[in-house]
Amino acid sequence: MHEPLCRVLPDNSNCGGYRVICPEGVVVNFDCPGDLKFRAGKKICDLPQNVDCGRRLDHGKLCQKPSGNFPEPGDCSTFLSCDGYMIQRGRLCPPGLLFNPKAGACDWPDKVDCPYR
């Protein structure tokens, strides 16, 4: 019996997300579509009432739409990018700039309303 090429694991920082870990350390993060949460035992996205988040954080939707740039919870100097609910997290703004959710891009601090400053 062969080992599966990739493993699917819950994203501990997002109850509505999961990560696919493949050989050679390739990790791809995903956000469940809509209001679904990741059901770790079955490795599927499921209705919230069917999912026990346990100790996993529930930030709500990280990808507010299937594609685009969105705030990274807890840090205004970083943002995440979604492409078909595939997430690239921890993207850094250039030094001196903060992520502006209204613009979907990094911007000057005086133009950004950041609750984490």
CATH number of the domain where residue 23 is located: 2.170.140
Q: Is a pLDDT exceeding 60 seen at residue 1?
A: no
Check: CB of residue 11 under 8 Å from CB of residue 61: no
Structural domain harbouring 109: 64-117
Q: Is the pTM of this model over 0.75?
A: no
Q: Is 64 left (phi over 0), alpha (psi -120 to 50) or beta?
A: alpha
**What pLDDT sits at residue 42?**
93
Verify that 31 and 56 share a domain, yes or no.
yes
Give the pLDDT confidence of 82-103 residue by residue, as tens digits.
887 778 887 899 999 999 999 9
* Alpha-carbon span 16 to 98, nearest angstrom: 25
Domain count, the chain: 2
Verify that 52 and 73 share a domain, yes or no.
no
Question: Which residue among 61, 86, 103 closes a domain?
Answer: 61
Verify that 6 and 56 share a domain, yes or no.
yes
Q: Is 83 helix (H, G, I), strand (E, B) or coil?
A: strand
38 forms beta bridges with 45
CATH number at residue 80: 2.170.140.10
Verify that 79 and 52 share a domain, yes or no.
no
**In Å, what is the CA distance from 6 to each residue of 23, 28, 52?**
7, 10, 24
Give the pLDDT confidence of 21-33 residue by residue, as tens digits.
988 778 888 888 8
Verify that 110 and 72 share a domain, yes or no.
yes
Whole-number average pLDDT of the chain:
86
